[in-house]
Structure 1
Amino acid sequence: MKFPSPLIPGKLIHRYKRFLADVTIAGGVVVTATCPNTGSMLGLTTPGSTVWLSESDRATRKYRHTWEMVEADLGTGPELVGINTGHPNALVAEAVGAGIMPELQGYTSLRREVRYGEASRIDLLLEGGADPRLCYVEVKNVHLMRVAGLAEFPDSKTERGVKHLRELSAMVAEGHRAVMTFLVQRGDANRFKLAGDIDPTYAMAYRAAAAAGVEMLCYRCRLSPTEIVVEKRLEIAELS
């Protein structure tokens, strides 16, 4: 996924009201940017951090800038971390189309945001091809890292995430295929695990979904101020 124009660097002043952040950009100008992330963004909101913004001149927008990435350093140098939770669905769809994710190949149709379950919408629905089953794909953005190299999810309690796992399990029970895909928007991750200490209920729901036949995938992205690309599958650590 290429950005329409290169991202703009700045320094984070603070994030507030969950969906807003004040940032100082070139010339000492302070702008208010939309923060497209409902999570805690644990470890990624330190004032003074280098952040990267996209800009839009659409007349309908209240704020011209959107916070896209932040630089984080766990001792191995600064790393770009994608915080925009609006991108993962498009990134996975793009990766499937490019053949980067072999586990999701072989289908003739890909649709996004299709209604299913308990008044929900599945992120991607794959169908057609040799497998007669529908394939329901839920995508979660991952940006939490507390130990160098180890990506984790979630960064806060997520009742919605628990609901999605239960709905995927129900699709398997109906004879379909269901895949939970964790997309790590940071290039310094080499493995992935669930943050069971942050949300034990989600960890329990994950175990139940896996036992029910929901497939679990994790992929890592490569990020730059000009593009984000899905590049590599990561191992998922077993829950202890």
Structure 2
Amino acid sequence: MRFESQLLTGRLVKRYKRFLSDIILDGSGEEVIAHVANSGSMMGLKDEGLKVWVSPSNNPKRKLKYSWEMLEVGGAMVGINTSRPNKLVEEAIEAGRIPELTGYETLRREVKYGQNSRIDILLEGPNDQLTYVEVKNVTLARQQGIAEFPDAVTARGAKHLVELGDMVKEGHRSAMVFLIQRDDCDALTLARDIDPKYGKIFDEAIAAGVEVYAIGCRLTAEEIIADRPIAVKC
């Protein structure tokens, strides 16, 4: 996925009200407000002075001109914009980078299913074969090389696991794909201390037949590509 416009670099002042951040742009020294498309805690990713990348927009209807896209922490590049993962996983599936999810005739996004939900990706094959794919963005890493999910209590994430299990009971395939949007991790585990209930429901979903995959990203100021398998150790 290539960025639509050239990213600008800056330094983080603070993140606040969940969806806002103050950033001082390099070069001009201008302090701007950037949208934070991330409802998680962003643990370890919001210290003052971190180098960040923002995308500008010329859309006059937008309230904020800038969106916070990436940051650098401890030598690692991390993508925090949660509007990107579905597209990144879609590209990975179509490029055959998640072999277990290849061979389907069509791929659709945001299809209604379950209890008033929308599945991130629905794969459709011959003979009405359906695979429901839920995508989760992962940015937390408290141990070197180990990505963790979630970084905050996620009732919505638990609900999605239950609904994926329901699809398996109806005779379909279901898969959870964790997108590790950072370039310094080679394994994924659950942050069970942060959300024990999610961990319990995750175990129940696996027992019910929900498949789990993880894929890592290569991040630059020009593009993000989900291109390498990540070991799942949950």
State the TM-score, normalized to the length of structure 1: 0.95
**2:232 aligned with 1:236, yes or no?**
yes
Give the AA of the match of 1:47.
E
Report deviation, 1:5: 2.4
CA displacement at 1:100 relative to structure 2: 1.5
Structure 1 unaligned spans of 5+: none
After superposition, the C-alpha distances for 1:73-115 in whole angstroms (9 at most, x for unaligned) are 1xxxx11100001101000111111121111101000000000
Aligned pairs for 1:159-170 within 5 A:
159-170=155-166
Distance 2:109 2:159 in 1: 19
RMSD: 0.9
1:80 aligned onto 2:77: yes
Q: Distance in 2 between matches of 1:141 and 1:206?
A: 16
CA shift, 1:6, in A, is 2.5
Whole-Å separation in 1 of the counterparts to 2:29 and 2:81: 24
SS of the counterpart of 1:198? coil
Deviation at 1:4, TM superposition (A): 1.6
Which runs of 4 or more aligned residues in structure 1 lie more than 4 Å from their structure 2 counterparts after TM superposition? Answer: none
Q: Which residue pairs with 1:27 in the alignment?
A: 28
Q: Partner of 1:68: helix, strand, or coil?
A: strand
Partner of 1:38: 39
In 2, are the aligned partners of 1:133 and 1:175 still within 8 Å (CA)? no
Name 2:201's counterpart in structure 1: 205
Please state if 1:155 is matched with 2:132.
no
CA distance in 2, matches of 1:119, 1:4: 32
Name the SS for the 1:136 alignment partner.
strand
Partners in 2 of 1:66 and 1:148 — Cα distance?
Answer: 28
Gaps of 5+ in 2: none
- Give the corresponding residue for 2:4: 4
Does the CA contact (< 8 Å) of 1:79 and 1:186 recur in 2?
Answer: yes
SS in 2 for 1:205: helix
Q: What does residue 172 of structure 2 align with?
A: 176
Measured after TM superposition, the shift of residue 28 of structure 1 is 1.1
Aligned length: 233
